[in-house]
Chain A
């Protein structure tokens, strides 16, 4: 296993063209504990890379990935290529990237001559879904309250099942899956944060869900921490505490527009095309019931969050104010209809 004697890794980062792949590669560059970093992706990396090599893989089939894993002599794979924002692709593409892509990658990582000993997968709390029967906080061992109903959730559940099979078939490999809470950050634009950045943010009439957030930098730090600590297993990653949507909207200086159930189905497609708001189905259930994850297991591994859920929201709101140039007077207590 090359490089392992010096404790230096040979890392393969997937999804370099995604928001996270490039950032993780950059973080690994500056961590300086990797001998070789190879980032792969279908398009150019999302942010410029310095020490890492980029390999364009337009068709990530088994034989291509097998050659890359073998050629790099990778001992570590960071799989950041899972799509968790369903507005980035059709259901068919979600399946193709999340399920088929993961399957091919794991097959390539599990060949007999493979030198891979560490696999870190960036997944999402979406695997838990959001339903009225949910516990206050999902533990890693909890299942969903019902079968997945949206394409992105289904593809992530399937992808995690493949990772589970891989871990069982390859006991030599330390496999860890990180399930992240909703991310807020200065650069990330996911459906919820896009909505919060606008003057009007859709909500569901009569619901004020409790939401948990993790800050963008904490996501990258968590992935790097996982690599460094050689963790095994599944971990929830999310900031401490939960915020009601009404408070979040007040922090971000946006006004909530409560939609009635029939409006949700009718308006979400045209509103997305007109860039008024994004309301993919997994966000609708989140805006109804919210979601919380128990993050004690990951904290117990020695990870220290920079931001709580509230801190992440406030940091996000600061960058919004910078862009908007608005005054920080938004969001006094009176604006909160539900306490």
Chain B
């Protein structure tokens, strides 16, 4: 099948693994070889703390000066153990994910894994940078491993791409929470769901309309035309408007079910999802009622 190279190593080689059961000098070879030091800090998810650190340095001015981000109830996010963070998702090319990840990482000093559509992985350069800065494909197995086995924080947007692809006229109206997968994952992993209401994310990139023909052509989930692009041209793709970001962490929600079950009743899952969605929606309405200006808060 595979060929043996012509130059053979003289000592080691030709007699690989002369079986571990055979006592004496062979015993040595079956001992586990200790790992040498790593040359990079890319973890098993593809996240690199060094890249994250660089991203934080670059993003900090946007977070502090441009968005003037304000948190409320950050102490409700545990400093250890797994928790599933969910938030409303908005703004054509969404800024809510980096703001939440950045905020929690600098305030709590613990990593946040941002779960998103597998679409990101398919884009060269972007996909790699996304993965190195804590992006993980939103997949029930991945979420379970992160939350249950590794006790990490995972950030999920249960609206999926339906959130950021809605038009500005529909701002802050939550889309449906898929099939309630978020709740099911939290139940299975035995971790709390912590909703985060984000205000300001809709105004940084107001979506005017979508161009379905272009999204098909470019094979992207949607192609937005935003107010930024109208005002600034191509630069508007990258430059968010300086809306004020306000984030409110809601009380953690735990579920009264055993973890690790194969199946959870659909009605319990949907009930949980609907309750979280209603709470989050109400909080958003409250925050909007309190807000006097989209730019100054």
The interface residues of chain A lying within 8 Å CB-to-CB of B48 are: 338-339
Q: Which chain B residue has the least Cβ–Cβ distance from A260?
A: B124
Shortest distance from the beta carbon of A256 to any chain B beta carbon, whole Å: 13
Q: In the complex the two chains form, is A31's CB within 8 Å of B29's CB?
A: no
Query: B-side binding surface: helix, strand, loop or mixed?
Result: loop
How far in angstroms is the closest Cβ of chain A from B14? 6
Q: Which of B69-77, B139-147, B233-241, B276-284 makes up part of the contact surface?
A: B139-147
* B1:A339 contact, CB within 8 angstroms: no
Q: Which of B96-125 contact A (CB under 8 A)?
A: 118-119, 121-125
Q: Does A112 contact B (CB under 8 A)?
A: no
Measured CA separation A314–B36 after assembly (Å): 8
Judge whether A316 is part of the interface by a CB distance below 8 angstroms.
no
A33 to B21, CA, bound (A): 9
List which A61-90 residues lie within 8 A (CB) of chain B.
Answer: 81, 83-85, 88
CA distance A215 to B195 in the complex (A): 45
Give B124's nearest chain A residue, CB to CB: A206
- B17 and A322 contact, CB distance less than 8 A: no
Give the contacting residue for B42; candidates A88, A142, A319, A339; CB below 8 A.
A339
Chain A, 1-43, contact with B by CB distance < 8 Å: what is the 0/1 string?
A: 0000000000000010111110100111011110000000000
Instruction: Judge if A292 is at the interface, Cβ distance under 8 Å.
Output: yes
A55 contacts across to B, CB distance below 8 A: none
B41 at the interface (CB under 8 A from A): yes
Interface residues as binary, A172-187 with B (CB distance below 8 Å gives 1, 0 otherwise): 0000000000000111
Q: Is B267 in the interface zone, CB < 8 Å from A?
A: no
B265 lies within 8 A of chain A by Cβ: no
B252 proximal to A (CB < 8 A): no
CA distance A28 to B19 in the complex (A): 7
Residue of B at shortest CB range from A27? B19
Interface residues on B, range: 35 or more
- Are A30 and B118 CB-contacts (below 8 A) given A19-B2, A221-B17? no
CB-contacts of B1-55 with A (<8 A): 1-5, 7-9, 12-22, 26, 29-36, 38-42, 44-46, 48, 50-51
A133 neighbours in B (Cβ, 8 Å) = 118, 137, 139
Per the bound structure, the CA–CA distance linking A81 and B122 in Å amounts to 34
CB-contact partner of A142 in B3, B36, B141, under 8 A: B141
B121 touches A132 (CB 8 A): yes
Instruction: Find residues 241-268 in chain A having any chain B CB closer than 8 Å to their own CB.
Output: 241-244, 246-247, 250-251
Residue of B nearest to A225 (CB): B20
Q: With a CB–CB cut-off of 8 A, which chain A residues contact B15?
A: 26
The smallest C-beta distance from B16 to any residue of chain A, in angstroms, reads 5
B16 CB contact (under 8 Å) in A210, A220, A311: A220
**8 Å CB contact of A228 from B21, B32, B118, B141:** B21
Please indicate the chain B residues that have their CB under 8 angstroms from the CB of A311 in the complex: 33-36
Residues in B neighbouring A19, C-beta threshold 8 A = 1-4
B interface, CB within 8 angstroms of A: 1-5, 7-9, 12-22, 26, 29-36, 38-42, 44-46, 48, 50-51, 118-119, 121-129, 132, 136-137, 139, 141-142, 145
A-B contacts, 10 listed (Cβ < 8 Å): A17-B1, A20-B1, A23-B16, A30-B19, A31-B19, A137-B145, A204-B124, A206-B128, A244-B40, A308-B35
